[in-house]
Structure 1
Amino acid sequence: MKFTLAAFTALLAPAAAEIYFKEQFNDDSWKERWTVPSEWKSASELGEWSHTSGEFNGGGPDDKGIKTSQDARFYGLSAPLSKPFNSSEKKDLVLQYTVKHEQKIDCGGAYLKLLPGGKNFDASKFGGETPYAIMFGPDICGSSNKRTHVILHSNKKDENLLIKKNVNCEDNQLTHLYTLIIRPDNTFEVFVDNKSVRSGTLDDEFDFLPPKEIKDPDQSKPKDWVDEKKIPDPDDVKPEGYDDIPAEIPDPDATKPDDWDDEDDGEWEPPMVDNPEYKGPWKPKMIDNPDYKGPWKHPMIPNPEYEYDEEMYAVCKDECTHIGFELWQVKSGTIFDDIIVTDSLEEAQKFAEETFFKKKDVEKELFDEAKKKKEEEEKAAREAEMPDEDEEDFMGGDEF
């Protein structure tokens, strides 16, 4: 069997990137792909999604996203992937989308979920209790509680594991790009606006594995172990009469009021004040303990239950088939756009260049212009409310 040069080159070339989902929300056809969960919450609890280009959009009026539109509401929405992602193929898994908090968000989630379920996935019941493989994206509540959630499902533990270290997020009114990659070598990386903000191994950053070492159950602190660094000085004794000193004494500077009547007011007593000679409860001086051995450290031994898991990355071991938003927002106004699920970081970055980065600078210019215009309008309104200087002089002058 003969190989042609083209066939040999094809064997050496990397496999083409797979795109499992892509959504830009630019026309009304998005409603055919996405389903609002009718059985998750009551109609009065669920907020409505609006389809809009938003304010100061760098992509123009035809570039649209979906926006939370009602305050203090739950928001749910899911869509099937165009092709299931299966971790058994040992491919990178990349999840990327954009978030824009036009409302100056005070408290609310803006994360995306990658979901297993296959043919059994019920979009009408999708909600907070629905199992997920990945929960990723910003969550903000107050000025100090701001983070990018990275939560991965452990198949071995059957638990959702939150990343141990904090991953910052953006909370201004501009669009920001969030990207997560999970690799089959059990590493991960998070990008915000295509800048790496957190990376590492899954076993270091998540509790996928039991600890490598545990305290030796057969060891305990010896009964004669002394870990008190200081002890009371046995030669220090309480001064005689120390307890006789009262905490308060009659105010020596107080005098009986001239209008005090003993018959009507009772016998006059001066008010009490802190006694300057009172030193509080007596305590002996502390000295170094001559028997001190230092803190006792429990001996550690290898954990017999520790076993490295080669498949920590396999969050979609049973196939991920859907994607969805399941949120609560106090103040609505967040716009989501430009979602992609792929097995190639390069493909995701290419999509970001075609969307997020293409609009980013124009959006900032429009935002700055809108901000400047609003400040000028507010200044003009304040000046209009101020009384005229000449009129003030006339009204406030001397009578004639």
Structure 2
Amino acid sequence: MRIAAAVCFMSALAFIAHADVYFKEQFLDGDGWKSRWVESKHKSDYGQWKLTSGKFYGDAELDKGLQTSQDARFYALSSRFDSFSNEGKTLVIQFTVKHEQKIDCGGGYVKIFPADLDQTNMHGESQYYIMFGPDICGYSTKKVHVIFNYKGQNHLIKKDIKCKDDELTHVYTLILRPDQTYEVKIDNEKVESGSLEEDWDFLPPKNIKDPEAKKPEDWDDRAKIDDPDDTKPEDWDKPENIPDPDAKKPDDWDEDMDGEWEPAMIPNPEYKGEWKPKQIDNPKYKGTWIHPEIDNPEYTSEDTIYKFDNVGILGLDLWQVKSGTIFDNFLITDDVEEAEKFGTETWGATKGPEKKMKDQQEEEERKKREEEEKSKKDDDNEEDEEEEDEDEPEQEEHTEEPSEEEEEGEDDTIPKDEL
């Protein structure tokens, strides 16, 4: 009996520990990625990708990823894996993004395609299953896209999920569960969750307003009304502006030339504005009328909105004004814990050293700028001093010799003791 229980327990552990990893890419084999990723030929001027860990990183090798390298370009690259269906399973999509170029406008998202996609012809109109990840453009757009295709139509999430907009690496995770719920995580922390039916317009609403119902004619929904006993005071009406009593016609005013003189207008201190009667509670107020609802005859429950039957390709199909984004650590699995563990082992292990390196670089750049500014200021001061020296007139030093008369005068002077 104990042996059977132990066997059952071990079997349960094995089942729990098992996780299907459908796709994983970390770019750890140098140029090997080129054999696994396909560039679309739909356009001839797609932007080029390069493998790099960027200007700052936590680990020079582990942080290598694919980076966009040309400004103002569309990018179209994809990788294939063994196709699968997520029916009855959790689907987890995860990857890291680093906008080290301080992105101004561009996508940082991925698309999940059906396996029958022609990768060499992938483009912006190619039908996908899921689009997920950050998108930034100016100050107004800084969101995480979560778009699902349902019955041939793309449906955007109705919630606004803010993405990270700094220059560091961040990990984005989408969890799609067979109970038709979802979760979005950034840096292994939940930022949004809910149900597919409530947060997307996949289905018609369950209830609609009763087309036969109408608000009764005697329904008064005014909470406040004018006091019928309130009257406007007799001295209320005063002009908004009056002639300035201190204004005087200039002495040189010529009515033939300047026209009739009129004093300037100033705000009237006695002006009280438009009179309105005071408000009182409406004794006939019945509250806000709520339109009755009925079951929507067009609504049909659907429990497979989450399901995609032929998942087989991950694509990077995006536009960037300023290039420099690095994509790395792709993972598609059916296990949430596996994804969290992978995020901790990759992004979690290098985020600290990456920030430290970036901070050191910024400090060095700051010091360099200060030295350059100081050097420039010193040079400017030296130039100013040289210009001042050049502007000062040269003073010639000389001694005037006495005239002959002065010399003779000195010789003819009679000493005091001879007088």
Over 3 Å counting, the alpha-carbon distance change for 1:350 and 1:284 in structure 2 is closer
Aligned-partner Cα distance in 1 for 2:9–2:226 = 83
Matched, 1:35 2:38: yes
Residue type at the aligned position of 1:340? L
Over 3 Å counting, the alpha-carbon distance change for 1:344 and 1:279 in structure 2 is same
Aligned-partner Cα distance in 1 for 2:62–2:262 = 86
Over 3 Å counting, the alpha-carbon distance change for 1:227 and 1:63 in structure 2 is closer
Aligned-partner Cα distance in 1 for 2:198–2:255 = 80
Choose which of 319, 325, 330 in structure 2 pairs with 1:334.
325
Over 3 Å counting, the alpha-carbon distance change for 1:36 and 1:288 in structure 2 is same
Over 3 Å counting, the alpha-carbon distance change for 1:256 and 1:349 in structure 2 is same
Q: Post-superposition shift, 1:195? A: 2.1
Aligned-partner Cα distance in 2 for 1:262–1:342 = 91
Matched, 1:360 2:348: no
How many positions carry a matched residue from both structures?
386
Q: Post-superposition shift, 1:372? A: 1.6
What corresponds to 1:94 in structure 2?
92
Q: Post-superposition shift, 1:185? A: 2.0
Q: Post-superposition shift, 1:241? A: 7.9
- Structure 2's unaligned 5+ residue stretches are 396-419
What corresponds to 1:115 in structure 2?
113
Matched, 1:50 2:50: yes
Over 3 Å counting, the alpha-carbon distance change for 1:192 and 1:62 in structure 2 is closer
- Structure 1's unaligned 5+ residue stretches are none
Over 3 Å counting, the alpha-carbon distance change for 1:241 and 1:322 in structure 2 is same
Choose which of 269, 274, 280 in structure 1 pairs with 2:267.
274
Residue type at the aligned position of 1:338? N
Residue type at the aligned position of 1:18? D
Deviations 1:60-83 (A, max 9, x none): 157521111222222221222x21
Over 3 Å counting, the alpha-carbon distance change for 1:63 and 1:391 in structure 2 is closer
Is the Cα–Cα contact under 8 Å of residues 97 and 170 in structure 2 kept in the other structure? yes
Q: Post-superposition shift, 1:389? A: 10
Q: Post-superposition shift, 1:229? A: 2.2
What corresponds to 1:189 in structure 2?
183
SS at match of 1:14: helix
Deviations 1:88-122 (A, max 9, x none): 3x222111111011111222210001012x33x22
Q: Post-superposition shift, 1:48? A: 2.2
Aligned-partner Cα distance in 1 for 2:61–2:168 = 16
Aligned-partner Cα distance in 1 for 2:100–2:20 = 33
Q: TM-score, normalised by structure 2?
A: 0.81
Aligned-partner Cα distance in 2 for 1:289–1:353 = 62
What corresponds to 2:253 in structure 1?
260
Q: Post-superposition shift, 1:209? A: 3.9
Deviations 1:124-149 (A, max 9, x none): 33222221111111112234532222
What corresponds to 2:128 in structure 1?
132
Aligned-partner Cα distance in 2 for 1:384–1:349 = 50
Aligned-partner Cα distance in 1 for 2:223–2:4 = 80
Aligned-partner Cα distance in 2 for 1:224–1:370 = 73
Matched, 1:165 2:159: yes
Over 3 Å counting, the alpha-carbon distance change for 1:246 and 1:351 in structure 2 is closer
Aligned-partner Cα distance in 2 for 1:390–1:148 = 52
Aligned-partner Cα distance in 2 for 1:202–1:220 = 32
Matched, 1:284 2:283: no
Deviations 1:257-314 (A, max 9, x none): 1221223222222223333333344433333322221211122334344443221221
Deviating more after overlay: 255-264 vs 282-291: 282-291
Aligned-partner Cα distance in 2 for 1:246–1:342 = 76
Residue type at the aligned position of 2:370? K
Q: Post-superposition shift, 1:194? A: 1.8
Aligned-partner Cα distance in 2 for 1:63–1:193 = 16
SS at match of 1:29: helix
Q: What pairs with 1:202-241 in structure 2 (closer than 5 Å)?
A: 202-239=196-233
Across the aligned residues of Structure 1 and Structure 2, the Cα RMSD in angstroms comes to 3.1
SS at match of 1:35: strand
Deviations 1:154-206 (A, max 9, x none): 23xx4323233333322222211111121212222222222222233323433
Aligned-partner Cα distance in 2 for 1:295–1:9 = 60
Radius of gyration: which is bigger? 2
Matched, 1:176 2:180: no
Aligned-partner Cα distance in 2 for 1:105–1:87 = 34
Over 3 Å counting, the alpha-carbon distance change for 1:352 and 1:230 in structure 2 is closer
Q: What pairs with 1:59-98 in structure 2 (closer than 5 Å)?
A: 59-61=59-61, 63-80=63-80, 82-88=81-87, 90-98=88-96
Deviating more after overlay: 275-284 vs 130-139: 275-284
Over 3 Å counting, the alpha-carbon distance change for 1:288 and 1:5 in structure 2 is closer
Deviating more after overlay: 369-378 vs 302-311: 302-311
Aligned-partner Cα distance in 1 for 2:352–2:242 = 74
Q: Post-superposition shift, 1:392? A: 8.8
Residue type at the aligned position of 1:31? K
SS at match of 1:228: coil
Deviations 1:222-280 (A, max 9, x none): 0111112233333334455866x443332221111122122322222222333333334
SS at match of 2:39: coil
SS at match of 2:35: helix
